[in-house]
Structure 1
Amino acid sequence: MTKPISLKAVLIAICLVALLSGCAGHRTKGPSDPTAAPAPTPTGVALSTADETTPPAGSDDMSLWEDDLDWNDEGAGVFYTVADPLEPFNRTMFVFNDKLYFWVLKPVAQGYRFAVPRPARSGVRNFFNNLGAPIRIANNILQGRFQTAEAEVARFLFNSTVGVLGFGNPAADVEGLNPEPTDLGLTLGHYGIGNGFYLVWPVLGPSTLRDSAGYFGDRWLNPTIYIDPIEASLAVFALRSINTVSFHIGDYEAIKSAALDPYQAMRDAYIQLRRSKLR
């Protein structure tokens, strides 16, 4: 990756994303937003399963999975839209992220996947997921889900010890220790705060006003942001991003190739994913 943006600029972008890219709509049986309407994106998009078919139990993985989407009785996808007053800016950022993915992130992730065996990459994913326990615990408490918070604590302790610092995920095989992950954006949605409007951030991708605020709040509970110097913290962020992409090469391509308007398809898929996590 070239260095057209300074390290501090990247941090500023991340903070802005945290402030402005909010999590998706309140997940209920029907559209909770008064503007909710079916989007004209193609339905039944088949996602790539080159590396795995389902996210690991209790994973914070935000990739788009078919199981995360709502389907009606006829099998057609039910999508929900959100206000998009900054569409020109968002489309520019979408194109930027698209080029970044195909020109930099995907080639690096492919090389990384070739060089690093899948068990090692799974260990890296498990490690970062385990580090996210404080975020999930705090937000479960804020949502009044105290039993789920206890399960998250138990899961963290189990994986940190038996799982050797979280590189293993033995809790995945223990009933009751794999609650659905949550975050501050979902907590805000839990208390009825709407999406605001849709945003696309450079590098970080799709979000909403509410999710951006949630991302910013959650960052303070993420141990990796306290790594010094800043270069090391950014290197850790890059490693996690590349490791995550290495499991999902082909997913984005599948959605993009099946969509009449890839920008709109990604927007609607993101909103649907966040609604599914709020349900």
Structure 2
Amino acid sequence: MRFICLAFVLTCVVTFSGCSAKTPEKPSEVSAVEQESDDFNGELDGFSDEFEDKEVYDPFSGYNRAMTTFNDGAYEYVLKPVANGYNYVMHVEVRESVRNFFNNLYFPMRFVNNVLQGKFYYAAEETGRFVINTTVGILGLFDPAKVHFNLEVHDEDFGQTLGFYGVGSGPHIVLPIFGPSNLRDLVGIYPDSLLSPLDYTERSYWTLTDTWPEYLGAKTVEKVNFISLNMDKYEKMRRDAVDLYPYFRDVYEQYRNKQIEE
């Protein structure tokens, strides 16, 4: 039943967002995505020097380097071709609606972690976003909360909550496919998963997926859609890196430190 619901939602994405888009997007149609890429790259440039002297604890560097090479190969030979095909089939507005839909699903995680960090105004803003986008935004396919009410997303996860209370990052760890992480953020995945409506087991409360095929299907769509909207960012980082692994490692740790400090 939940698989049918997921299929229905994705059908709605195409119906509401892509009915007028039959051809690949022109440069003017991806300006919002390109702007996000510019903002992201500018953000990296803005704080990379600030943390460059901080040494990352990396006792698993051999494994991490090998896994980074594996992940980059998976991106180049599997994920990138799939995402390019997905880009060709799905208009940018459809892909943005898919992103919005998944982002809306993760409201419980953002809300709880904002509360745990005492960021009650942000938690209230997240609640407003969820209510508006789930109703007026048609199950989160659109983002009227930001467009019309200037309600911003406040991304917080349990790894950031642990960091907020002074828990150190611990050793750096590169995860298969998912990429850079560390012990603190890895520990944070489990409590966050309890707040996610995407799961591979049946729970006592409603979830969008509750079997492995449903879960993997939903996460695959989410991952491919994310890559399709962020390939320019990744490609720029690859071009800028003299040595891919330490570059990705340092950027990740710096970015997480910045998120925790905000």
| Shift in alpha-carbon separation, 1:262–1:203, aligned structure 2, 3 A | same
Q: Is 1:259–2:233 an aligned residue pair?
A: no
Distance 2:131 2:62 in 1: 46
Structure 2 counterpart of 1:230, from 175, 196, 212: 212
**Residue type at the aligned position of 2:43:** D
SS of corresponding position for 2:83: helix
**Residue type at the aligned position of 2:131:** L
In structure 2, stretches of 5+ residues that fail to align are: 1-29, 200-206
Structure 2 counterpart of 1:242, from 224, 231, 240: 224
* Paired residues of 2:110 and 2:154 also in contact (CA < 8 A): no
Q: Is 1:66–2:47 an aligned residue pair?
A: no
Structure 2 counterpart of 1:125, from 99, 103, 106: 99
| Shift in alpha-carbon separation, 1:51–1:170, aligned structure 2, 3 A | closer
**Residue type at the aligned position of 2:102:** F
Q: Is 1:159–2:133 an aligned residue pair?
A: yes
TM-score (norm 1): 0.74
Structure 1 counterpart of 2:253, from 255, 264, 271: 271
The structural deviation recorded for 1:210 is: 0.4
* Paired residues of 1:81 and 1:271 also in contact (CA < 8 A): no
Q: What percentage of residue pairs aligned between the two structures are identical?
A: 38
- Calculate the aligned-residue CA RMSD, in Å: 2.3
Q: Is 1:53–2:24 an aligned residue pair?
A: no
What are the Cα deviations for residues 184-220 of structure 1, in whole angstroms up to 9, with x where unaligned? 1111010010101100011111001001111221111
What are the Cα deviations for residues 100-142 of structure 1, in whole angstroms up to 9, with x where unaligned? 1011000000000010011111110000000010000000111
Q: Is 1:138–2:112 an aligned residue pair?
A: yes
Distance 2:220 2:31 in 1: 22
Distance 1:148 1:198 in 2: 29
SS of corresponding position for 2:195: coil
Distance 2:238 2:31 in 1: 17
SS of corresponding position for 2:33: coil
Q: How many residues align?
A: 223
* Paired residues of 1:125 and 1:240 also in contact (CA < 8 A): yes
Distance 1:83 1:89 in 2: 14
* Paired residues of 1:64 and 1:269 also in contact (CA < 8 A): no
* Paired residues of 2:171 and 2:183 also in contact (CA < 8 A): yes
| Shift in alpha-carbon separation, 1:191–1:76, aligned structure 2, 3 A | closer
SS of corresponding position for 1:241: helix
* Paired residues of 2:41 and 2:233 also in contact (CA < 8 A): no
Higher percent of residues as helix: 2
Distance 1:64 1:177 in 2: 19
| Shift in alpha-carbon separation, 1:51–1:90, aligned structure 2, 3 A | farther
SS of corresponding position for 1:248: helix
What are the Cα deviations for residues 214-262 of structure 1, in whole angstroms up to 9, with x where unaligned? 1221111110115132111101000000000001113222222222211
In structure 1, stretches of 5+ residues that fail to align are: 1-48, 57-62
SS of corresponding position for 2:231: coil
Aligned counterparts, 1:11-160, within 5 A: 52-55=33-36, 65-69=40-44, 71=46, 78-79=51-52, 80-160=54-134
The structure, 1 or 2, with the larger RCO (C-alpha pairs under 8 Å, 6+ apart) is 1
